[in-house]
Chain A
């Protein structure tokens, strides 16, 4: 099996920005990491979206977002600030997703229940600020097209795409977190972009 066909969630994500075990160094400034409410307020919706889109499972997203924030808060002393908090959280979220996908319960539960993302509903959340009716309509169409293109991607492609274009991580960060060669990350991104851009009516 080549590297591209392997599921991302079969890897152990690397905790970017964490202090190597044994070190007691703590040089980062006080931040949202020290306040659980702030952490939740700032990052929960983003985490929810990330897990929801990469797994297509709303219930899993809620659980993973919650666990990720709690784990991050509990291990905040090991956050060394080399990456953004967002990037660090994404790494924790990926490991948490992986744990759930491997679990007995999830596999059983997954057989009997599935949730689908309501593209129509989601696209209606586009902010109307500063947009005329035509602009709003166009933006909604774009949101729908992207959501539909994402549906057609493999889980790996979708996850890497979201890490890049929604979580705004660099290819190097994605590669490090997923322990995946830059070349493979790039291949996933190129395939995802091809699909998304053609849905958006990009130049063929």
Chain B
């Protein structure tokens, strides 16, 4: 943390100056030291460039791809809908290649989470509908259906199953 030359501000002192918590001694040093000022300026200059580029980029994106309020739910949840639809279809096939009946832990965990607040901008009915679908998927995955291939093929891991879901849903 200490600078090589003790004459200059330490990284900690420079960082405190940048975040607006610099001491008056640091401020005084900065005013008379071109080297330390250059450190501060270099960061500020970089951040100015980052802020203007990221904002322009955000604005450009906002112009072409941002949905109106009425389309927000559709835009946000379309990928989920597709995923759930795909996952549901896959359930037909899963019992034939699934050799352990542990449900995906993250999905189980998700079911335990408190209900979503009103802030998502969708109705309770819509949320309930989606949650029912999630539960249906979860329940189907939990169902213990002995496979005819049990004990004949190596166990297929949970991770592997998830990868298959992912690769088909994208």
Residue ranges of A at the interface with B (Cβ–Cβ < 8 Å)? 44-46, 48-49, 52-53, 58-60, 62-63, 65-67, 70-71, 95-96, 99-100, 102-105, 107-109, 111-113, 121-127, 139-140, 142-143, 145-147, 164-166, 170-171, 186, 189-190, 193-194, 196-197, 200-203
Beyond A142-B50, A186-B21, 6 extra complex contacts between A and B, CB < 8 Å? A58-B61, A63-B72, A108-B134, A111-B107, A122-B54, A143-B50
* A200-B43 contact in complex given A111-B106, A189-B15, C-beta closer than 8 Å: yes
Which residues on B sit within 8 Å (CB–CB) of A99? Answer: 116-117, 119-120
- Cβ-defined contact, B49 with A143, below 8 A: yes
Q: In the complex, which residues 84-133 of chain B have their Cβ closer than 8 Å to any Cβ of chain A?
A: 106-107, 109-111, 113-117, 119-121, 127, 130-131
Report B3-35 CB contacts with A as 1/0, cut-off 8 Å: 100001001100110111100000000000001
- Cβ-defined contact, B134 with A105, below 8 A: yes
Residue ranges of B at the interface with A (Cβ–Cβ < 8 Å)? 3, 8, 11-12, 15-16, 18-21, 35, 39, 42-43, 45-47, 49-62, 65-67, 69, 72, 75-77, 79-80, 83, 106-107, 109-111, 113-117, 119-121, 127, 130-131, 134, 162, 165-166, 169-170
Chain A contact surface mostly: helix
* A45-B45 contact in complex given A105-B77, A113-B79, A193-B18, C-beta closer than 8 Å: no
Chain B contact surface mostly: helix
Which residues on B sit within 8 Å (CB–CB) of A186? Answer: 16, 19, 21
Which residues on B sit within 8 Å (CB–CB) of A65? Answer: 66
* A122-B57 contact in complex given A70-B69, A103-B120, A142-B46, C-beta closer than 8 Å: yes
Residue of B nearest to A191 (CB): B15
Q: How far does the alpha carbon of A121 sit from the alpha carbon of B170 in the complex, in Å?
A: 23
- Cβ-defined contact, B55 with A66, below 8 A: no
Provide a sorted-by-A list of 13 A–B residue pairs whose CB atoms are within 8 angstroms: A46-B55, A62-B66, A102-B113, A103-B120, A104-B110, A104-B116, A104-B131, A111-B106, A122-B57, A127-B56, A190-B15, A200-B43, A202-B43
Residue of B nearest to A135 (CB): B49
- Cβ-defined contact, A203 with B58, below 8 A: no
Which residues on B sit within 8 Å (CB–CB) of A166? Answer: 47, 50-51, 54
* A142-B45 contact in complex given A49-B55, A62-B72, A112-B165, C-beta closer than 8 Å: yes
Partner of A62, one of B18, B67, B106: B67
Q: How far does the alpha carbon of A129 sit from the alpha carbon of B43 in the complex, in Å?
A: 20
- Cβ-defined contact, A63 with B76, below 8 A: yes
- Cβ-defined contact, A171 with B19, below 8 A: yes
- Cβ-defined contact, B20 with A111, below 8 A: no
